[in-house]
Chain A
Amino acid sequence: MNIKSILLLALVANGAAYAAEAEVSDSDRIAQYREMISDGNPADFDEMRGESLWKAVAGPKQATLEQCDLGKGAGVVKGAYAELPRFFKDTGRVQDLESRLLSCMSTLQGLNADEIAAKPFATEKKPSDISSLATYVVGQSKGIKMAVSVKHPKEKEAYEIGKRIFSYRAGPYDFACSTCHATSNVRIRMQDLPNLNVKKDAQAAYTTWPAYRVSQGLTRSFQWRLNDCFRQQRFPEPKFASEATVDLTMYLAVSANGAAFAGPGLKR
């Protein structure tokens, strides 16, 4: 029996225990479940995988990522995620964690960024190196207060554009992010939706991604989170680590400023 089925069983058993109480919402149940396993999150395995990848020699240049500059200087991982996205002088653009990892894998290790970006997410059959690396890096910001800057004009612009992408309605259903995430206390079916224009909700949501998804048995990155939102929005696919995704991330990250980062999280 693998970890996924054990977890699902635990979730189902827990759900069954509550089935009699009709008033208990899914989110309450998941909160309960989170408490049950608060000593360990399956995302820990992905975090460990990411850490060994960070320290492993790889690519045509046979280098590790230990000299990667995530914004706080070469090799500084602690607290780096709490200040991302940010403007990077060497690339001349604002980058989120995954876009920055892509730069480092390409510059330091000589790996092909386009190839990585073409298949960036883990599947049941194949883990994703860039995703595991992201899980490792975010884990090193656990407990650190989100402090994303908009001081640089490019950071400010990214924030402003991200805010506009948040309410950009398009596609066959006329949906925007804001269609589901700009009203408080609403849900799709039984799934509660955070109002991401409200600081408290934005903080709770943003600081718990990346997360281990029990229903998928995989740890999912923030780029994945946005990608799957756009899928359900009936949009075409956002290009991995593209400016549109980084700008949207900037808007959401700034909204989460002031809260202690709590990821990797655990979600249904």
Chain B
Amino acid sequence: MKAKWMIGTVLIASLAGFSAQAAESKLDAKTAEIVKRDFQDRGIARADRVVQDELQALCSKYHDKLPAKLKSKMEGEQAEAIKLPADDKYMGDWKAGEKLAQSGRGMTWSDKAEDPAGGNCYNCHQLSAKEIAFGTIGPSLLHYGKIRGNSLEVQRHTYGHIYNAKAFQACANMPRFGHKAILSEAQIKDLVALLLDPESPVNK
């Protein structure tokens, strides 16, 4: 009798859990449908930008907190897709990097296709001590190179992080500047120099 009760309870509980899950995924599917239908082309921002890649869909679903196994799987996949420069050289011009870091432009529907995209760095990070109008969504990068040095290993890591931050933190807020072709190889090198060059204001 007791066992029967227990089986009954477990059955009801799991059925309830199952139908709640079904309702959740029905809502997820409906959300995707509505989003696909309700956004339109404007300027360079084409409607198909709302179509999610696998990582975007997973991070949305889990509110940026992926289960551990899935997280390391996705990070591994993102890391594998990083293309390091063929010449194995990473340090560009920090002055050009500072200009890029200052610019918050690029890829909105009010930007033109031929307008170069900015790095948007100061929007979220502190970099040079001289620039006080910095955002705080990302960590401070002041003295980034002073702390880490600028060995080849550090240069490669820094390049990789700007190229695809999701290789290090699957649902990071930071855009994948190389992976999504927002910045060119030369531009990423300029940002690496801004972070690592001893002469850069970031390290003063």
- Asked whether A and B interact, the reply is yes
> Which of A's residues lie within 8 Å of B, judged by CB?
22, 157, 160-161, 164-165, 167-176, 178-180, 183, 185-191, 193, 230-232, 234-239, 242-245, 247
Give the size of the chain B interface in residues (CB under 8 angstroms): 46
Residues of B within 8 A of A157 (CB): 27, 30
Stretch at the interface among B56-64, B154-162, B186-194: B56-64
A161–B32 Cα distance when bound, in Å, is 9
B108 within 8 A of A: yes
Measured between alpha carbons, how far is A22 from B48 in the docked complex, in Å?
44
Q: How far is the CA of A187 from the CA of B176 in the complex (A)?
A: 20
A196 → B minimal CB distance (Å): 13
The 10 closest A-B pairs by CB, nearest first: A244-B38, A242-B38, A237-B42, A173-B175, A164-B31, A236-B39, A169-B56, A188-B135, A171-B49, A236-B45
Contacts of A180 in B (CB 8 A): 137
A187 and B175 contacting across the interface, CB-CB below 8 Å: no
Which of B34, B47, B63, B176 is A236 in contact with, Cβ under 8 Å?
B47
List of B residues within 8 angstroms of A183 by Cβ: 137
Q: State the Cβ distance, A177 to closest chain B Cβ, in Å.
A: 11
Q: Identify which of B38, B49, B64, B176 gathers the most chain A CB atoms within 10 Å of its CB.
A: B38
- Return 16 A-B CB contacts under 8 Å, by A number: A161-B27, A161-B31, A168-B31, A168-B52, A168-B60, A172-B182, A174-B59, A178-B63, A178-B64, A180-B137, A188-B123, A189-B104, A193-B137, A236-B45, A239-B39, A247-B34
User: Once bound together, how far apart are the Cα atoms of A186 and B28, in whole Å?
Assistant: 29
Chain A residues contacting B110 (CB-CB under 8 Å) are 231
Q: Tell whether, in the assembled complex, residue A164 and residue B28 are in contact, meaning their CB atoms are under 8 Å apart.
A: yes
- Residues in B with CB closer than 8 Å to A161 are 27, 30-31, 34
- The residues of B that contact A168 with a CB separation of less than 8 Å are 31, 35, 50, 52, 60
Bound-state Cα–Cα, A193 to B173, Å: 15
Nearest CB to that of A239 among chain B residues?
Answer: B38
Chain B, range 152-204, C-beta contacts under 8 Å to A: 166, 173, 175-176, 180, 182
In whole angstroms, what is the CA distance A97 to B37 when docked?
21
Task: Tell me, rounded to whole Å, the shortest Cβ–Cβ distance linking A257 to chain B.
Answer: 21
Interface membership of B40, Cβ < 8 A: yes
Distance between Cα atoms of A188 and B104 in the complex (Å): 10
Chain B residues numbered 45-85 whose CB sits less than 8 Å from any CB in chain A: 45-52, 55-56, 59-60, 63-64
Residues of B within 8 A of A176 (CB): 60
On chain B, the residues within 8 Å of A242 by CB distance are: 37-38
- Partner among A22, A179, A232 whose Cβ is within 8 Å of the Cβ of B173: A179
Partner of A244, one of B39, B41, B48, B56: B39
Q: Is B132 in contact with chain A by the CB < 8 A criterion? A: yes
- A237 vs B124: C-alpha distance when bound (angstroms): 24
Asked if residues A189 and B134 are in contact (CB atoms below 8 Å), the reply is yes
Kindly provide the distance from the CB of A105 to the nearest chain B CB, expressed in whole angstroms. Answer: 20
Evaluate contact between A237 and B59: CB separation under 8 angstroms.
no
Q: Which residues of B contact A238 (CB under 8 A)?
A: 38-40
Contact status B38-A245, CB under 8 Å: yes
Contact pattern, B 132-160, Cβ under 8 Å of A = 1, otherwise 0: 11111100000000000000000000000
**Contacts A160-B27, A180-B137, A247-B34: A236 and B109 contacting too (C-beta < 8 A)?**
yes
